[in-house]
Structure 1
Amino acid sequence: MTTSEKFLQPSIPRFDGHYDHWSMLMKNFLRSKEMWNLVHEGLPTPVIGTAPASEAQRKSVEEAKIKDLKVKNFLFQAIDREILETILDKGTSKAILDSMRQKYQGSTKVKQAQLQALRKEFELLNMKEGEKIDSFLARTLTAVNEMKVNGEVMEPSMVVGKVLRSLTPKFNYVVRSIEELNDLNTMSIDELHGSLLVQEQRMQGYQEEEQALRISTTSEEGFSHLNSACELNGEEQNEATEGENMNTASSSSNSSSSGTTPNEENDVLVEGRGTRNMRESA
């Protein structure tokens, strides 16, 4: 056996209290090992007769016993110690599995009660707001598989109809389109899943485009407000400058009306100061 084949060996399914699920996994595991027929039919017994068993028959029985020991080893690894102690007296792997089935599979009444509860849970199952299609389909198919394990017959059309009825309102137009373009009686769950995923991706793309457009619009409005503020400040500065110019012009006008220029007024002030100084000296 190569290293790659060694790492690809399937793991032994552990018994977790749910017999139906565990037995399905164990059955598939033993089939992959080509040992299920031994568990299902039991050890071959030599034919009792006058003639002794041939060498080939004895060899076949011995090989079957060795295989049975390997199966028992798998079962011992899959079962907890507390349960294992109750089946150690079983001589063959078939006897062990029969004992497990009788103890943990449950009676018909128990299975019917479980099925009723699962049916109610299935009917109340609905897609949550913001939930992804993959997540909702996973929850739905989990409920369907549990119902099947307990004996319920679930046609694909029943599951398809339930999924379409349980989607959020934003998928209403998608549901109408699927109902118009497809025969729900022949549509598979995988086909429905694929169609819903495509529509979900389109919705997500539209939402991203709207968000980008909203951000762009907000940025443009911000720039517009900024430009308006700048223009308003510029107008206020212009008005202030015009006011200063008007005040300067008014002062000049007053000086002109008195008949003197600014230079003449300065000369008068200088002469007045000189006369005052001469008087103080005298």
Structure 2
Amino acid sequence: MENTQQLIAINKPLKLDIEHYGHWKVNMQQIIQGIDLEAWISVEEGWTHPVTKDANGKEIPKPKKSWSAEEKLEAKFNAKALSAIFTSLPRNQFTRVQGCTSAKEAWDILQVSFEGTSNVKRTCIDMLESEFESLTMGAGDSIDDFSSKLSSIRQEAIVLGKNYKDKKLVKKFLRSLPTKFQSHKSAIEVALNSDDLKFDHVVGMMQAYELQLKKKEQTVGKGLALMADRSVEIEDQVSMMVKKYFGKYEAGQRGGSSSQFKSGAEKKFQKLDKQVC
């Protein structure tokens, strides 16, 4: 099982998208921890090549064959973490860290590159805040679509050090709902204290209501379709009857019994009128 998971990770590696660095960062942390917790520790605390001293007392890199078991293990965890980071980078981003020998060094370079200094972080947070405030639920958006957009902004903000609490997310979510959700939104606000609600809980309630609306729309749609089909069927019957009786009427005129056919046609039309009504 372990070998299978490793193959999947190699075949479909996570790739860094510079516009969604926060998504990459959170996922990469979990991937490295999934490889081994010690691998993530090497990212946090760093790793240095073991050294030894030469005859003059100067520190020099220690030959690998002389490494202790502990030094080999630490190097192994660092290599795993560094490999995961390298594999996740597109070529144009890989050049930033290709000379790194420690996972921490590569991680820190990428973090500074995409998160920047405190001033850059503040600017990024302000941009997210603006995106959050201007976000609205479009006519074609589902509850899942819109809630996912809010959650994405929340996660990006967390990476930058800002956390949107459930209270703010719930208020933004309810405020952005279109008219068709108004009755259920009002029921929630009246029956429950929105300040105490969890964002995921409110989303779940609205998703359930959305399913009910879709079922009603489908039922109404089927009813209208049946009515339309019935109307077409009756129109066809009328058309056939007109042709049939018109032919008989002409024949009746020639035979002197047109009133008889005319009376029969009127009765048939009256019967169809009742079916339509």
TM-score (norm 1): 0.67
The alignment partner of 1:14 has SS state of coil
The alignment partner of 2:256 has SS state of helix
Consecutive unaligned residues of structure 2, counting only runs of 5 or more, are 51-66, 259-277
Q: 8 Å contact 1:12–1:26 — kept in the other structure?
A: no
Q: Which residue of 2 aligns with 1:99?
A: 109
Q: 139, 144, 156: which is aligned to 1:129?
A: 139
Q: Which residue of 1 aligns with 2:71?
A: 61
Q: Which residue of 2 aligns with 1:41?
A: 45
Q: Which residue of 2 aligns with 1:23?
A: 25
Tell me whether 1:212 sits opposite 2:222 in the alignment.
yes
CA distance in 2, matches of 1:29, 1:168: 39
After superposition, the Cα gap between the structure-2 partners of 1:2 and 1:158, relative to the gap in structure 1 and judged at 3 Å, is closer
After superposition, the Cα gap between the structure-2 partners of 1:176 and 1:80, relative to the gap in structure 1 and judged at 3 Å, is closer
After superposition, the Cα gap between the structure-2 partners of 1:60 and 1:215, relative to the gap in structure 1 and judged at 3 Å, is closer
Tell me whether 1:170 sits opposite 2:180 in the alignment.
yes
Instruction: Give the aligned residue type for 1:132.
Output: S
Instruction: Give the aligned residue type for 1:37.
Output: I
Q: 8 Å contact 1:115–1:152 — kept in the other structure?
A: yes
Matches within 5 A, 1:82-93: 82-93=92-103
CA distance in 2, matches of 1:228, 1:12: 66
Q: 128, 149, 155: which is aligned to 1:145?
A: 155
User: Between the two proteins, what is the percent identity of the paired residues?
Assistant: 20
Q: 241, 256, 275: which is aligned to 1:244?
A: 256
CA distance in 2, matches of 1:98, 1:226: 76
Q: 8 Å contact 1:44–1:61 — kept in the other structure?
A: no
User: Please, which moves more after superposition, 11-20 or 194-203?
Assistant: 11-20
Residues 162-190 of structure 1 show CA distances to partners (whole Å, capped at 9, x for unaligned) of: 11111111111111112223232232222
Following TM superposition, by how much is the alpha carbon of 1:134 offset from its aligned partner in structure 2, in angstroms? 1.8
Residues 28-48 of structure 1 show CA distances to partners (whole Å, capped at 9, x for unaligned) of: 1211122111221223899xx
Instruction: Give the aligned residue type for 2:15.
Output: R
Q: 8 Å contact 1:72–1:92 — kept in the other structure?
A: yes
Residues 67-86 of structure 1 show CA distances to partners (whole Å, capped at 9, x for unaligned) of: 32333333333334554445
Q: Which residue of 2 aligns with 1:78?
A: 88
Q: 8 Å contact 1:156–1:188 — kept in the other structure?
A: yes
Residues 98-126 of structure 1 show CA distances to partners (whole Å, capped at 9, x for unaligned) of: 23323332122222222222222222222
Q: Which residue of 1 aligns with 2:262?
A: none
Q: Which residue of 2 aligns with 1:116?
A: 126
Consecutive unaligned residues of structure 1, counting only runs of 5 or more, are 47-56, 247-282
Aligned length: 236
Q: 8 Å contact 2:14–2:88 — kept in the other structure?
A: yes
Q: 8 Å contact 2:42–2:78 — kept in the other structure?
A: yes
Instruction: Give the aligned residue type for 2:190.
Output: E
Tell me whether 1:190 sits opposite 2:200 in the alignment.
yes
Q: 8 Å contact 1:127–1:166 — kept in the other structure?
A: yes
Following TM superposition, by how much is the alpha carbon of 1:154 offset from its aligned partner in structure 2, in angstroms? 0.6
After superposition, the Cα gap between the structure-2 partners of 1:59 and 1:227, relative to the gap in structure 1 and judged at 3 Å, is closer
After superposition, the Cα gap between the structure-2 partners of 1:7 and 1:69, relative to the gap in structure 1 and judged at 3 Å, is closer
Following TM superposition, by how much is the alpha carbon of 1:234 offset from its aligned partner in structure 2, in angstroms? 5.6
TM-score (norm 2): 0.68
Instruction: Give the aligned residue type for 2:44.
Output: H
Q: 8 Å contact 1:14–1:79 — kept in the other structure?
A: yes
RMSD between aligned alpha carbons? 3.6
CA distance in 1, matches of 2:233, 2:105: 82
Q: Which residue of 2 aligns with 1:280?
A: none
